[in-house]
């Protein structure tokens, strides 16, 4: 938990934004609960691994409408609808993080909403509509269903459990067998490696102390912004990694490593630097 260098008005603003985001997520949650494990039509966005449904779009419109009504001085960046509005507050929205899980009846997906100002994250919500879990964060704390999250120190590497979506099919096209070798190193180094295919939910589980670390590549801000703040406010570490020297807020960087309090897992640190270095050497990444 940390107030960093926030002033009293900033702390109050962050608390208000947290409340607005939570209300927005609660409005959208019944739509997803009602559609879960029903016959949901799905569309491919970029490929068969990247799906979208009418419920992604409906959920985002509900969230977008509430955010702009509650905080008119806002820009909403949504995964499905792009940018709407203008103002000093930026909302970063993923209406369903884990759409593939949602469409296949796997109860590991969430609504993810973050609020930032001048690139600084102020508030976050990750809402699991099936388990009825509300992970939230403001300028002071991370919370689970209103109770402050403060997990203890994480175990050493050989006793730790991690979550990752790597290597995805897209990553394997870029990294080839090296991606499988990195994954194999993690399987050998940790007690458990789980592939859950929702970065926001994995980050929320790190914040809660249910997962010790998570690592990801080729993410977008809506995948990680809310979860990044959750991890930090719960006493953990969130690090963003870039492919070049451009300066970006960590939640806008395409690669990340998140660790629970006190966690130190060299195999993950080595992997993320090795993968980025190999991609840079091949020129297989764009500017990020």
Task: Give the pLDDT of residue 2.
Answer: 54
* Ranges of each domain in the chain: 8-148, 157-282
Beta strand pairing status for 237-241 and 255-259? antiparallel
The torsion angles phi and psi of 249, rounded to 5 degrees, stand at -55, 145
Asked if the 8-148 domain carries CATH number 3.30.540.10, the reply is yes
- CA atoms lying within 13 Å on the CB side of residue 91: 36
- Which residue shows structure tokens 């067998």? 177
Structure tokens at 62: 């509900």
Question: 8-148 with 157-282: one CATH topology?
Answer: no
Output the CA–CA distances (angstroms, integers) from residue 268 to 59, 262, 275, in the order listed: 34, 15, 11
- CA atoms lying within 13 Å on the CB side of residue 269: 9
Mean pLDDT, 10 residues at a time, over the chain (288 residues)?
75 97 98 92 64 89 98 95 95 96 96 97 98 98 98 98 96 96 98 96 98 97 98 98 83 96 98 95 69
Distance separating alpha carbons of residues 173 and 96, to the nearest angstrom: 25
Q: Which class is 157-282 in CATH?
A: alpha beta
């Amino acid at each position: 938990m940390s107030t960093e260098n926030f002033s009293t008005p900033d702390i109050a603003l962050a608390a208000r934004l947290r409340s607005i985001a939570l209300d927005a997520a609660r409005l959208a949650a019944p739509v997803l609960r009602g559609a879960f494990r029903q016959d949901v039509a799905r569309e491919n966005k970029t490929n068969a691994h990247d799906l979208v449904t009418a419920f992604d779009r409906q959920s985002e419109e509900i969230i977008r409408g509430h955010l702009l009504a509650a905080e008119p001085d806002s820009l909403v960046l949504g995964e499905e609808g792009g940018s709407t509005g203008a103002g000093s507050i930026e909302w970063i929205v993923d209406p369903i993080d884990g759409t593939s899980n949602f469409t296949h009846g796997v109860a590991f997906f969430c609504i993810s909403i973050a609020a930032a100002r001048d690139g600084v994250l102020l508030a976050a919500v990750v809402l699991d509509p099936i388990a009825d879990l509300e992970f939230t964060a403001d300028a002071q704390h991370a919370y689970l269903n209103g109770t402050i999250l403060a997990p203890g120190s994480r175990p050493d590497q050989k006793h730790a459990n991690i979550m990752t979506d790597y290597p995805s099919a897209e990553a394997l096209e870029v990294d080839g067998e090296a991606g499988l070798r990195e994954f194999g190193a993690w399987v050998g180094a940790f007690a458990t490696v789980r592939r859950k295919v929702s970065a926001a939910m994995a980050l929320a589980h790190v914040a809660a102390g249910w997962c010790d670390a998570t690592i990801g590549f080729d993410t977008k801000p809506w995948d990680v912004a809310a979860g990044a703040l959750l991890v930090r406010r719960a006493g953990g570490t969130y690090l963003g990694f870039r492919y070049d020297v451009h300066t970006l807020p960590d939640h806008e960087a395409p690669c990340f490593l998140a660790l629970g309090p006190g966690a130190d897992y060299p195999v993950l640190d080595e992997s993320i630097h090795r993968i980025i270095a190999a991609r840079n050497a091949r020129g297989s990444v764009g500017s990020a």
